[in-house]
Every structure is written in structure tokens, then in C-alpha cells.
Structure 1
């Protein structure tokens, strides 16, 4: 059973420089879908021109795709994701689509989804799945000439630890999301807490490893405990360590 409505939720904190590319990628990914789509950008503690950039992009939307900017000056990024999700469900309410046919997709304002992001997830969206998890690629790691020690250490960490989930690349069915109470107020790791709650309530979580979102490789974090903070720690820890040594570590 294919989805009849989609909501894409994007929190942003002072992302005027990157959010335009993020939205261009999301709009490309949702174009051509013959179902209602709500794109919600949560301007979280923003003091730059993020909202202006977003509203300009949203002014060009047409058809079944609708955009909303939500200004939020409280809480954590988990609060922003939760607020944006409820706003997305509000936008879609007019279509009367049941929650078990509505999917909530999550990404970040410093990320770029692939053009077939929705298509790759839609192939797995049915009653046998309640959540789908994709992977992320850290920008700046495309080749040996641009890959620094922190990025090498990050990929080593990803290769040698367990399954990974990212709020920058996640889809959850609305009925399952509401059943577990939505995004837990836990930062960092709100995506892991959400998925754990789903599993605890026997909602199936399915990895989709061929669906990859590109995310920023910056080490100046917007959210405490996020990828930027991790890269900053890795850069400090592995400064001067030869890449070959990083690759050979068990």
C-alpha cells in the first residue's frame, strides 16, 4: 500500500547559507509525486536570513506541494522536529488522508537529499514497515585529496560500529509516530530514541542503505552532540595522525 500524503520536516538554526540548496534538493525530490506534500521548515533560534531564503523558495511552490515556515525560539532540535511534524500533519489534514497512509520524512537544513530520495523510500513504504532509515555521506569526503583526518576517522567509526540512523535521513509512518508519542525530547540521539520507542511498541524499522543524503562536514555544530561536534572532537583527537594508520585500526 503506497503513501497518499508526505510531510518533510527540516529544522534550521542560522542556515541562510545552506538552506537554499537543501530546499532545492527536497523540492526536486518531491516533484512528480501525485500526492499532497507538506514541506515544513522550522526556523529554530534563528537570527539570520534563514526565513527570508526559505520563504522565497516556498513562494514558487505549486500543485500539491505546500510549504510552511514555523518560527520557534524555545527548546532543543528535538522540539523543533516535533513542532515541525505536527505542523506538517496540520497542513495535510485538509486532504483527509489516514495516518497509516501518511509518511513523515526528516532531514536537516545543512543536508542535500538525492533527486530520487522519495522514490527510494516509496518502494519500501507499506503496511509491513513503520520506519525507514537511510545513510548519510559527509561532504568533503569525495576523494583522497579532500578527505582530512577527522573525516577519515569518522568513516572508520561508521565502518566499525553497529547500525546507524540519522535524523537527516529518516521516514516514519504517521500512525506509528503518534503511537509512540513522537520525537523524544532527547538530544543528542533523538532519532535513536524515536526508533527504539518504535521497536519497543513492535513497529517494524527497516534500513534502506542505498538511500544516501549528503550532509555538511563542518565541525562548528548548530546542535549540541550533533555530527559537527563529533567531527570537531575527531579533528582534535586525530590531528596529525596519518590516514593509513586510521584505516588500519581494528
Structure 2
């Protein structure tokens, strides 16, 4: 089995190294029968992201799409051509847990699945209003069977991905769209809180309606009170 780990990046010099270090650490936990191929897809980067990826010894592609759906799809199709039969997606502003990959294997071993939707933890609440944190906790279901969808923690079968047509060329919510495609074609989906990543609490969004924008809107609602 070969796992393709695909990471889109747009000017992520502040977080890229920590992301790749966490991915490489998770890879060391895999048994010898399973290999992993990390790939960063740099979209219109003008900072030091590329230099950091090279320093980490990780393969990469470059593009100028300004569209996360196209970026993810480009990377995934490249990984599949390299022999990946399972795709694990995360983001450059996120850190995967040490057991991120082996928890995915555990789910597939326990019960065959075509997709795993994992959960995210927020790295820091220090710069946000206390009520923002509370509202988030009240909203978020950190449990098995949750229904949250994060491009930063989404895994699936390469075969199923190609069958449904892959990520749509969307600037945001490409992850939600892909899950809907899997559901529409009757693929098995595991909603797991055992597969985890820690993601940035920054408020400067890369995607107009992504996770950072969600936190920013929560924060704005309390600052205006």
C-alpha cells in the first residue's frame, strides 16, 4: 500500500516546516509494508515556501491557479500516477498527530472504508475572545460519527476519487463538494475523531470561506457586541 499525502500551499513560509516535520514524523510510524509519498503543491507562492519544502526534502509541484480545488486535484492525480492507492489530505498551516497515518490504517483494517473525515483541534485561542472559543466548542462535535468536513484532514481511496471525478475547481468548499460526491455514489465514509490534525487559529484566510474565515466571523461577532 502506498499513501499519497497532498498538501496545497500559498505563501505558507511561517508554517510549512512544522507541517512537513509532523508529516514526516507520522510516516516513521508506518509498518514496512506501507509507504508514504508527501507532495506539496505550491500555488502562486511569492515567499520562502518553496525553499523550505526543498530543505525538507519533500517533492513538490508549482502552479498558478489561485484555486484550492484545482491545486488539490493536481497534486492528487500526480500522487496517483506515482502509485498512491490511498490519499491523505492536509494543509500547510496544520500539524498532523504522530498517529495520524496509523489511525487511518486502523480504520481501514477494522472496517473497509472509502473515505475518512477527521477532526481538527485549534492550535491557540490566546489572541481570540473567550466567547469565540466557547462558541466554537459548543458548535464542534469532537466525537466519532461527527459530520465536520475539513480539507486539512480528509482521506480517501484513489480508485473512488477517480470514479467520482475528483475535487471540483472550486475556490472554497471543494472538500464539502467531494464528500457529497462520495455520498451520492454510495461510498463508505468513516467520520472519525481518532484521525486528528491541529490547525492554525489565524484569522487571515487563504480561502474566502475557509476555516480562518469561519473563526474570523465568530470573532467579529463578539468584538461588535
TM over 0.5: yes
Deviation at 1:80, TM superposition (A): 0.7
Q: Secondary structure at the match of 1:125?
A: helix
Contact 1:8 1:106 in 2 (8 A): yes
Mapping of 1:105-184 within 5 angstroms? Answer: 105-125=88-108, 128-141=112-125, 148-159=130-141, 163-184=147-168
Deviation at 1:154, TM superposition (A): 2.4
| 1:27-46 deviation per Cα after TM superposition (whole angstroms, max 9, x unaligned) | 00012422232111011111
Contact 1:150 1:232 in 2 (8 A): no
Name the structure 1 match of 2:21: 24
Deviation at 1:50, TM superposition (A): 0.1
| 1:44-101 deviation per Cα after TM superposition (whole angstroms, max 9, x unaligned) | 111000000011101xxxxxxxx311111114111111011011112227xxxxxxxx
Instruction: Determine the C-alpha separation between the residues in 2 that align with 1:138 and 1:40.
Output: 24
Contact 2:44 2:65 in 1 (8 A): yes
Contact 1:38 1:92 in 2 (8 A): no
Deviation at 1:146, TM superposition (A): 7.5
Name the structure 2 match of 1:96: none
Name the structure 1 match of 2:182: 198
Q: In the alignment, does 2:219 pair up with 1:219?
A: no
Q: Secondary structure at the match of 1:214?
A: strand
Instruction: Determine the C-alpha separation between the residues in 1 that align with 2:59 and 2:82.
Output: 8
Q: Secondary structure at the match of 1:206?
A: strand
Normalization by structure 2: what TM-score?
0.90
Deviation at 1:188, TM superposition (A): 2.2
Mean CA deviation greater in 144-153 or 71-80:
144-153
Instruction: Determine the C-alpha separation between the residues in 2 that align with 1:197 and 1:203.
Output: 9
Query: Unaligned 5+ residue runs, structure 2?
Result: none
Name the structure 1 match of 2:213: 229
Q: Secondary structure at the match of 2:86?
A: strand
| 1:144-178 deviation per Cα after TM superposition (whole angstroms, max 9, x unaligned) | 99773333322323259x71111111110111111
Query: Unaligned 5+ residue runs, structure 1?
Result: 59-66, 94-101, 242-250
Normalization by structure 1: what TM-score?
0.81
Q: Secondary structure at the match of 1:48?
A: coil
